Amino acid sequence: MISPGRPVRSIGVEAPYRPALVDVAEPEPGRGQAWVRTEWSGISAGTEVALVRGTDPHHQVGWDRELRSFGAGLPVAGYPLRGLGYMEVARVTESRTASLAEGALIATAYGHQTGRCVDPADAVVVPIPDDLDPLLGIYLAQLGPICVNGLLHAAAASAGPAADLAAGVRGKAVLVTGAGVIGILTALLAVLHGAADVLVAEPSAERRTVAQALGLSTVADEDGDGWLEVKRRWHHGRGDHGADLALQCRGHDTSLATALKSLRPQGAVVDLAFYQGAAPNVRFGEEFHHNGLAVICAQIARVPRGMADTWPRQALAAATLDLLRARGADIRRHLVTDLVDFEDGPAFLTGLAARRRHVLQAVLRFAKET
């Protein structure tokens, strides 16, 4: 039974491998809020498939919020899940706030559902400018900022000024491991912000082809041996080969191993990936130890310490918009591989979870009258 409120439809997960359309209720918009109708919603395949399968850490091991640690004996996440997703483009249809005009198109992050009561004071809301393809707005509120945050962590590691996003990549040899959506957008950001050379390591020939179509150089990494070509490509001096920086964007320990082996001495991996299990292919007694390397986790829940005031989510979105304005047509042409009707979303996610489908960027489209 739907609780009181305005009824909407959402894509949730009833049980492992059972995504479904569910009926939920949203509160009526009050003062300072607005009602929005969803037009597009991007599928974050890695994150959402993990939730459909139940293989993410929160469904496997308990999480202590106070100590911020996982451990046995703690409650694990369960089912059903009310919703999935975080890449929405929506139209304001009713507004009770001066900050959102009726008819405006916004990017935000609330999941695959037909409508939402939005409070700009509590949610990330990014206006979509008229000169941007509206579908590309799926990247503005969350996924693009994830990629920008990777460059921001690289800048912090290089002791660059807090306002200088390019400080970590400018003039440097940059390796990006993984040619999924996050890897490709991150590589394009590195190019945009002045990297001397950017190379993308990826095991899939199909994904390497997409990266090449976007003007990126690639190296095959099917067997975890792509690092050798990286070392040969960048020679800085005697005993000094490899990338200055690796931006690790693939949730497999083999790619982290490649990133570490590809670095020059005292290089750094900025890791944007999400791992769901152990990392037996990462051997910290080898290159990590002998070359004095660093591994830095960059996740969207936090920017580098001391940069929160300079880099709120709106600033990360603005940097994303710069990339989309520069390369938007190419990104739409080469990254968006599937347009899926909202009602077909559960079946589509089931196919992804069962490995019957492979995509780069799938986008759900919603009926305009919803």
Q: How confident is the model at residue 1 (pLDDT cuts 50, 70, 90)?
A: very low
Strand pairing report for 263-271 and 294-297:
parallel
pLDDT digits (tens, 9 = 90+) for 29-52: 999 999 999 999 999 999 999 999
Which residues contact residue 68 at a Cβ distance below 8 angstroms, ignoring those fewer than 6 apart?
Answer: none
φ, ψ for residue 57 (rounded to 5)? -55, -35
pLDDT digits (tens, 9 = 90+) for 252-264: 999 999 999 999 9
**Confidence at residue 142, expressed as pLDDT on a 0 to 100 scale:** 96
pLDDT digits (tens, 9 = 90+) for 86-140: 999 999 999 999 999 999 999 999 999 999 999 999 999 999 999 999 999 999 9
Mean pLDDT for the chain? 95
As given in the structure block, the two tokens for residue 112 are 């695959």
**Confidence at residue 3, expressed as pLDDT on a 0 to 100 scale:** 52
Per the listing, tokens 């710069």 go with: 322
**Confidence at residue 153, expressed as pLDDT on a 0 to 100 scale:** 97
Amino acid of residue 96 = R
Among residues 302, 251, 242, 294, the alpha carbon closest in space to that of 270 is found at 294
Per-residue HEC secondary structure of the chain comes to CCCCCEEEEEEEEEECCEEEEEEEEECCCCCCCEEEEEEEEEECHHHHHHHHHCCCHHHHCEEECCCCEEECCCCCCCCCECCCCCCEEEEEEEECCCCCCCCCEEEECCCCECEEEECCCCCCCEECCCCCCHHHHHHCCCHHHHHHHHHHHHHHHCCCCCCCHHHHCECCEEEEECCCHHHHHHHHHHHHCCECEEEEEECCHHHHHHHHHCCCEEEECCCCCCHHHHHHHCEEECCEECEEEEEECCCCHHHHHHHHHHEEEEEEEEECCCCCCCCCCCCHHHHHHHCCCEEEECCCCCCCCCCCCCCCHHHHHHHHHHHHHHHHHHHHHHHEEEEEEHHHHHHHHHHHHCCCCCCCEEEEECCCCC
pLDDT digits (tens, 9 = 90+) for 268-314: 999 999 988 889 999 999 999 999 999 999 987 899 999 999 999 99
Q: What percent of the chain has pLDDT over 90?
A: 87
Which residues contact residue 202 at a Cβ distance below 8 angstroms, ignoring those fewer than 6 apart?
Answer: 177, 178, 179, 183, 208, 211, 218, 219, 220, 221, 250
Domains and CATH numbers, the chain: 6-142+321-365 (3.90.180.10), 144-297 (3.40.50.720)
Q: Which is more confident, 354 or 357?
A: 354
| HSE of 137, CA atoms in CB hemisphere, 13 A | 28
Among residues 309, 356, 357, the alpha carbon closest in space to that of 162 is found at 309
Check pLDDT > 60 for residue 370: no
**Confidence at residue 369, expressed as pLDDT on a 0 to 100 scale:** 57
